[in-house]
Amino acid sequence: MNSLHGTIPATFAIGNNIRSINLNGNQLEGPLPRSLANCTYLEVLDLGNNKINGVFPYWLGSLQNLQVLVLRSNKFQGRIGNPKTKFAFPNLRIIDISNNRFNGPLPKKYFEYLKAMMNVEEREVALKYMGNNYYQDSLNIMIKGQYIEMKRVLTILTSIDFSNNSFRGEMPKIIGSLKSLKGLNFSYNNLIGYIPSSFGNLTNLEWLDLSFNKLGGEIPSQLADLTSLEVLNLSHNQLTGHIPSGNQFNTFNNDSYTENLGLCGFPLSRTCDNQEAKQPPPPTMQQDENGFGWRAVSIGYACGTIFGMFMGYLVFKIGKPKWLVRKVKLEQHIMLRRLKNNAHKCGGRR
Percent of the chain with pLDDT over 70: 72
Residue 69's pLDDT band (boundaries 50, 70, 90)?
A: very high
What are 29-60's pLDDT values in tens digits? 999 999 999 999 999 999 999 999 999 999 99
- Burial category of 277 from C-beta neighbours within 10 Å (exposed 0-12, middle 13-18, buried 19 and up): exposed
Residues 199 and 330 in one domain: no
In Å, how far are 211, 257, 258 from 238, measured between CA atoms?
Answer: 10, 10, 10
177 within 8 A of 118, measured Cβ to Cβ = yes
43 within 8 A of 18, measured Cβ to Cβ = no
Look at residue 279 in the predicted model and tell me its pLDDT.
35
Counting every residue, how long is the chain?
350
Residues 272 and 324 in one domain: no
Segment 53-68 mean pLDDT: 95
Residue 56 belongs to what domain range? Answer: 5-277
Whether the predicted pLDDT of 188 surpasses 90: yes
Comparing CA positions, the residue from 307, 339, 54, 98 lying closest to residue 212 is 98
Residues 27 and 152 in one domain: yes
Residues 216 and 342 in one domain: no
Whether the predicted pLDDT of 346 surpasses 90: no
Q: Which of 254, 277, 300 is the last residue of a domain?
A: 277
Question: In 10 A of CB 346, how many CB atoms?
Answer: 9
Look at residue 349 in the predicted model and tell me its pLDDT.
47
Segment 281-292 mean pLDDT: 41
CATH number at residue 120: 3.80.10.10
Task: Please report which helix (H) or strand (E) contains residue 347, including its range.
Answer: helix 322-349
Residues 242 and 105 in one domain: yes
Comparing CA positions, the residue from 110, 54, 49 lying closest to residue 77 is 54
Residue 141's pLDDT band (boundaries 50, 70, 90)?
A: confident
Residues 203 and 309 in one domain: no
Whether the predicted pLDDT of 72 surpasses 90: yes
Q: Are strands 139-143 and 68-70 parallel, antiparallel or unpaired?
A: unpaired
Look at residue 145 in the predicted model and tell me its pLDDT.
76
Comparing CA positions, the residue from 96, 9, 101, 110 lying closest to residue 48 is 96
d(CA 159, CA 230): 15
Residues 87 and 154 in one domain: yes
Segment 3-9 mean pLDDT: 96
Residues 61 and 185 in one domain: yes
Residue 252's pLDDT band (boundaries 50, 70, 90)?
A: very high
Whether the predicted pLDDT of 291 surpasses 50: no
Domain count, the chain: 3
Q: Which of 214, 248, 277 is the last residue of a domain?
A: 277
Angle at 238 between CA 236 and CA 240, to 5 degrees: 120
Residues 80 and 204 in one domain: yes
Segment 211-221 mean pLDDT: 96
Residues 244 and 208 in one domain: yes
DSSP type of residue 247: G
Determine the longest span between alpha carbons in the chain, in angstroms.
Answer: 141
Task: Please report which helix (H) or strand (E) contains residue 166, including its range.
Answer: strand 166-169
Residues 26 and 86 in one domain: yes
Residues 305 and 342 in one domain: no
Q: Which of 164-168, 313-317, 324-328 has the lowest mean pLDDT?
A: 313-317
Whether the predicted pLDDT of 156 surpasses 70: yes
